[in-house]
């Protein structure tokens, strides 16, 4: 049972480069999301999706794009990386049951450094 | 205003003692859920405990309990009989309303358990 799989685990980019962080889940979860974690800031929501073909912005969406073509995959794209995007990125998913106690399942994170 | 406030950047506790990690929240929605996650040094996010706004009793999960004071809008995590393996970052999070599973996180509290 793989759960939420993120790749790569580590990445170093130069300013201006583009890349895609991959996220896949095998639990048939409707809801998927991306967070970034910075020291002293907790986790902040970047983008989320409540199903295939549906995405929406979170608290800190600038500089990031997402798409959701399948239930399983939710890639995060950095079109032109900036040093301010140096962070640890987490993908998370859950069922969308409407129940209050629906918890998020997290991937293991991607540590991104932009030089 | 912050939706989730964790006022303790760091806490120290001796092994086998109990410790309380503070969390206050801000919402006008009558329906909400409160979550605690643990992040050890390895980086993964581990769900610990959940409390719903309509729950009459405080949630408990093994050595973890949630001291829920609705009128004060606080949801403190109590860890009884601390163990060395409890040393980690702890995050409080809230979901407001129903339907979407967007969680808003606090900035976290680093707990260090000493022998």
Greatest mean pLDDT range, A86-100, B11-25, B101-115: B11-25
- What is the rounded CA–CA span in Å between residue A4 and residue A93? 7
SS (H, E, C) chain B: CCCEECCCCEEEEECCCCEEECCEECCCCCCEEEEEEEECCCCCCEEEEEEECCCCCCCEECCEEEEEECCCCEEEEEECCCCHHHCEEEEEEEEECCCCCCCEECCCEEEEEEC
**Between chains, do B45 and A92 touch, taking CB under 8 Å as contact?**
yes
A98 vs B36 pLDDT, higher one: B36
- What is the rounded CA–CA span in Å between residue A43 and residue A36? 6
Q: How confident is the model at residue B85 (pLDDT cuts 50, 70, 90)?
A: very high
Q: Mutate which of A33, A61, A95, A101 to test chain B, going by most B C-beta atoms within 10 A? A: A101
pLDDT given for residue A48 in this prediction: 94
pLDDT given for residue A111 in this prediction: 96
pLDDT given for residue B2 in this prediction: 78
pLDDT tens per residue, chain A (115 residues)?
Answer: 679 999 999 999 999 999 999 999 999 999 999 999 998 889 999 999 999 999 999 999 999 999 999 999 999 999 999 999 999 999 999 887 666 677 889 999 999 999 9
Query: Is B46 in contact with B38 (CB distance < 8 Å)?
Result: yes
Give the residue on B whose Cα is nearest the Cα of A41.
Answer: B107
Q: How far is A36 from chain B (nearest CA, A)?
A: 11
Statement: residue B100 has pLDDT above 70: no
* Candidates A96, A105, A109; nearest CB to B43: A109
Statement: residue B101 has pLDDT above 70: no
The stretch B23-37 carries a mean pLDDT of 93
Q: How far is B22 from chain A (nearest CA, A)?
A: 15
CA distances for A45 relative to A48, A58, A74, B42, B64, angstroms: 8, 5, 14, 21, 26
Query: Is A33 in contact with A91 (CB distance < 8 Å)?
Result: yes
**Average per-residue pLDDT in chain B?**
93
pLDDT given for residue A95 in this prediction: 82
**Between chains, do A88 and B107 touch, taking CB under 8 Å as contact?**
no
* Candidates A41, A102, A109; nearest CB to B101: A102
| Sign, Cα dihedral of A61, A75, A106, B98 | positive
């Amino acid at each position: 049972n793989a759960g939420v799989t993120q790749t790569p685990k580590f990445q170093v980019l130069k300013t201006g480069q583009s890349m895609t962080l991959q996220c896949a889940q095998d639990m048939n979860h409707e809801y998927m999301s991306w967070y970034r974690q910075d020291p002293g800031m907790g986790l902040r929501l970047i983008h989320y999706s409540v199903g295939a073909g549906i995405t929406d912005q979170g608290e800190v969406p600038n500089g990031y794009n997402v798409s959701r073509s399948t239930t399983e995959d939710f890639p995060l794209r950095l079109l032109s990386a900036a040093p301010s995007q140096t962070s640890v990125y987490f993908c998370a998913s859950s069922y969308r049951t409407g129940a209050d106690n629906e918890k998020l399942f997290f991937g293991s994170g991607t540590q991104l450094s932009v030089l | 205003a912050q939706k989730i406030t964790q006022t303790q950047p760091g806490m120290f506790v001796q092994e086998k003692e109990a410790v309380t990690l503070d969390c206050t929240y801000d919402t006008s929605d009558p329906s909400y859920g409160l979550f605690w996650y643990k992040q050890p040094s390895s980086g993964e996010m581990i769900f610990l405990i959940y409390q719903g706004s309509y729950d009459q009793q405080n949630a408990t999960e093994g050595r973890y309990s949630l001291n829920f004071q609705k009128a004060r809008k606080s949801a403190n995590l109590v860890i009884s009989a601390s163990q060395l393996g409890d040393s980690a970052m702890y995050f409080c999070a809230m979901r407001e309303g129903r339907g979407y599973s967007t969680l808003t996180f606090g900035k976290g509290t680093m707990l260090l358990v000493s022998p």
